[in-house]
Chain A
């Protein structure tokens, strides 16, 4: 059995969670009841077990309604429970062991034994642990997020964005009817029965929340009473019927998303816009009430603290009623402008037809320092998604980015990123006879490799790297498929399955053959460090012949100790992000090899798609800490390049050069790629028209996505503290430009307080 610690944190949690409302003793009792139920259903079908367990959790885990909430639904998570992602709770029937251990401290010591008993039970039953036992491989395949490994894997069902149209059109009772129809047609089964029971559970949660609402009415101000009355009537309607008003639709969507355990929401303008537009038209709602309701949604999402999720997507092609949707979009834009939360990750899809005022509002929000919306270009993405995922145009129009940037087709595909691969570590292993220079452990997994002394050309080096990558790609597809098998054996993700095409039609859960498009994604890290490393080796070793490959390997393994001159030559070799043909071509070559390698394996395994994503989160930093120095001049332990951006701001040739480099990759080969670009307020806000036209050119040239940061005073302070991450921050005035972090301290201060209008 592979060695691993069940206590490894399962994700990089950036935001601090709100502690549960229940007392520790109540939490313990609930977890015990959950565990007892799980045990009692041993030998029963997974569906029966799942619904029985869900009944223990809900409605018990609902928190009180906060005084500012305009619709109901706040949930707590305990170290033991049920879920589909690692950011809230865990996956399937889960136990988060490190949290359970920490939970012990909240209890008197004579109760610790009870926790230990739970711990022991779940060691054998936690879904992820079961997966790890089968999937991990000593020294080669590690668990999320054990950064000693080149490949880390997990079982989770991330990024599910449900078919909320179906929910709105049919309501709970309509879905129930549809299930009945299918039961008649295809015959009854556990999935249908459990689905119906899930819908019943939904209704009882509505009732439970309605009771809470009623009890809050006592002593409420007249205004609050009115809000609570509205909330109550919404809950009582949606417990069974289709929503009629915006508030009802919002309540229905939110409660369902909570019970399904999904943390990305998708095209809310498309789903909720028509309700909103009608209410505004009929005078049922005022604009300012609509604003407050959306603000309340933003707050609810923020309070879930899912770190890099909470996607709300507006705009773009393929919406049923674009005009109404745009009404939602405009208000959402105002909310994003004023809220400044880390979540929701507010995302604008646009194309050449998008109304100008929406683009302007988006740029205004960004310019004010809100960092959102993130911009996605439909003109590029729709044809790209058609190719990448092998779907038709109508389907591709429903692409939605989730989490750190992976795409799924809303309501139709599974695309969970259960694999993360450190491309840079693998390059180092390829150059060191299979040994990871970070810890001296052999991670070649039996792939035979030439020692650097025998590599006599760049091509031999590159093909050796590719061979090792190929092996790791094989491990990737195996681990992804295994994650689906293990999850499917254990659970049906009932609430999710009900709202994913074509589960109800087929009478099968998502991973049991129900989902229309079975996809998956691999998060890649260090892609640019790799291509810059290869470009540097090519130049310094094979062209300039400054050093032999083996001497280079040794110097880099020493973290350049005593060889800073070599480091400088590596650092000065062509770098991606500067519109430099050599560096960009290398980046693209690496990209295509990795993208195709993963994609082909998915197709061969019978998946609709299996794609790489170049995502944006904290893992590049975490993994970088445990990654040796690299051949692009990066020091040992330094973060790896973030998203699809150059290392440490190696792009110092200005925005147009950066944007040109970004357009080099074929978007039809990946399942999402993020790029950040920084602007001073002087440029972005002072010359908005130019910026807008510049973006237009970028998007016309094939730019797929952009995330814009405006460098305000706070950013500049960060730049002073971490110059390495801000080398791409240029200061420009007439006839002069300089890299901000290279300026003298007092001049930096001067700029912070004045010239940049921070």
Chain B
């Protein structure tokens, strides 16, 4: 497998939040978890999904006869997508005059991905940047170790944003080719974590511990979510956990609703509308707490 293929949802160039320097972030389709605050919900399923943007739909009905699954219908002047029927074949995408449809991902080979990534090689050299894999869960992609290997061959620094909620074998297989791990530590309470995200805390922490033992460069990140983990006592226990694992680099990500529109495009309800968007100032107390406890805390964008 020297040119594996992936479902890539997007490639973001000139990114500056996801690892050192200027980076190109590649987002992959598929994640084992299901966090309600996910800002890229289209990446959660392991297969491409159809997005339909109501704002661009003029309800002309053009698309309806093109669907082999009869998943599309016009009802009371609005287009309806029957998600249960849709098989993401994409036939409706090119026939919509408004450009309302898109499939969440397209297939790209590692060669194609790297061709895009390498366009910014000069910027990586100047800023210490490189390639970041994100998602979804990039480490759930078959062949991701090949992509990372090839990236290292091309002299790129590599960063992986992972849930670490997967078998250590996978982490081990990419370990030689990853310069920076950005791992989400979403909660310190086993039950809450499992209920809200589907992640197994023991698996996550044992993976982090093993990576630390191997000398990996690990940064832990916590998305600070108002009803879920934003109280200082929860954050304190999360920080304790980090310290116990031997990690000192920490990033807090204030909650935002930027991904909300995507839920509508997927025909999924967004359940966190009532929550307040947090500013960097809102999490500054938490950051100082972490610093007092001995962590090197940064507030991320």
Contacts and interface: CB of A to CB of B under 8 A. Distances in A.
Interface in B1-52: 12-18, 21-22, 25, 39-40
Interface of A is mostly: helix
Interface string A667-706: 0000000000000001100110010011011001100000
Interface in A715-747: 731-738, 742-744, 747
10 nearest A-B pairs in the assembled complex, by CB-CB distance: A654-B14, A564-B97, A565-B97, A656-B14, A734-B17, A654-B13, A693-B126, A733-B301, A736-B39, A655-B14
A354 B261 CA distance: 46
Interface stretch (B116-124, B224-232, B286-294): B116-124
Most buried by A among B40, B161, B256: B256
A655 B260 CA distance: 25
Contacts of B15: 654, 732, 737
B237 interface: no
B17 A733 contact: yes
Interface in A637-661: 653-657, 660
B139 to A, nearest CB: 15
Interface residues of B, number: 41
Contacts of A185: none
A572 B94 CA distance: 11
Contacts of A755: 256, 277, 279, 301
B119 A660 contact: yes
Given A734-B300, A735-B134, A738-B258, A683 B16 contact: yes
Given A568-B98, A687-B16, A693-B127, A656 B256 contact: no
Contacts of A571: 99
B258 A733 contact: yes
A316 B122 CA distance: 25
A738 B261 CA distance: 11
Interface residues of A, number: 41
B13 A565 contact: no
A656 B98 contact: no
Given A657-B119, A694-B123, A755-B277, 8 more contacts: A565-B95, A660-B120, A697-B122, A732-B16, A733-B301, A734-B251, A734-B253, A735-B17
28 contacts: A563-B97, A565-B95, A568-B98, A569-B94, A579-B119, A654-B13, A655-B14, A656-B14, A656-B119, A657-B120, A690-B127, A693-B123, A694-B127, A697-B126, A732-B15, A732-B16, A732-B17, A732-B301, A733-B256, A734-B301, A735-B17, A735-B40, A736-B259, A737-B12, A747-B257, A747-B258, A747-B260, A755-B301
A565 B62 contact: yes
A44 interface: no
Contacts of A736: 39-40, 256, 258-259
Interface of B is mostly: loop
A690 B15 CA distance: 10
B261 A657 contact: no
Interface string A334-378: 000000000000000000000000000000000000000000000
Interface string B273-292: 00001010000000000000
B154 to A, nearest CB: 17
Interface string B118-154: 0110110111000000100000000000000000000
Contacts of A754: 277, 279
Contacts of A697: 122-123, 125-126
B156 interface: no
Interface of A: 563-565, 567-569, 571-572, 579, 653-657, 660, 682-683, 686-687, 690, 693-694, 696-697, 700-701, 731-738, 742-744, 747, 750, 754-755
Contacts of B300: 733-734
A30 to B, nearest CB: 58
A686 B122 CA distance: 22
Contacts of B301: 682, 686, 732-734, 755
A686 B280 CA distance: 12
Given A694-B126, A735-B161, A738-B258, A656 B279 contact: no
B21 A690 contact: yes
B140 to A, nearest CB: 16
A339 to B, nearest CB: 30
Nearest to A731: B258
B96 interface: yes
A652 to B, nearest CB: 10
Given A568-B99, A694-B126, A750-B257, A735 B39 contact: yes
A655 to B, nearest CB: 5
Nearest to B25: A735
A701 B123 CA distance: 10
Contacts of B14: 654-657, 694
